[in-house]
């Protein structure tokens, strides 16, 4: 944030003296000064973006893995229920439980 402030002060200084900068053809020098002040922010921004991307990827991998496990186990319960002859687990029950499970996982994602 400090580098943004320094870059902002350079930009403000240039805008206040824009006639002088143009008169002495100092645009390129001022652009270099501005870029130099933002160099640290660029490095931090790249690191933050990479970390955020990896973290988001891991979060979505865990989420979809939980969904896959829930559906596969639910389908096994439905098949087992049909083979045993009782109708304890049906596809309708699977959808109801899965939708509740998805709602819980979604709320947990929003919590963190």
pLDDT in tens for each of the 112 residues of the chain? 676 777 777 777 777 777 877 788 888 888 888 788 778 888 888 999 999 999 999 988 988 898 898 889 989 999 998 888 888 888 888 888 888 888 887 787 777 6
∠ CA 63-47-13, rounded to 5°: 135
Q: What is the pLDDT of residue 112?
A: 65
Q: What is the pLDDT of residue 110?
A: 76
58-88 burial code (b ≥16 CB/10 A, e <16):
eeeeeeeeeeeebeeebeebbeebeeeeeee
pTM of the model: 0.60
Q: What is the pLDDT of residue 18?
A: 77
């Amino acid at each position: 944030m400090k580098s943004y402030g320094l870059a902002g002060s350079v930009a403000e200084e240039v805008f206040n003296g824009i006639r002088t900068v143009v008169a002495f053809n100092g645009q390129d020098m001022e652009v270099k000064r501005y870029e130099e002040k933002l160099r640290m922010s660029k490095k931090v921004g790249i690191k933050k973006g990479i970390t955020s991307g990896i973290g988001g990827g891991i979060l979505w991998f865990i989420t979809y893995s939980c969904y896959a496990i829930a559906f596969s186990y639910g389908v096994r319960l439905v098949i087992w229920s049909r083979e045993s002859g009782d109708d304890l687990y049906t596809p309708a029950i699977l959808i109801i439980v899965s939708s509740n499970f998805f709602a819980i996982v979604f709320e947990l994602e929003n919590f963190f």
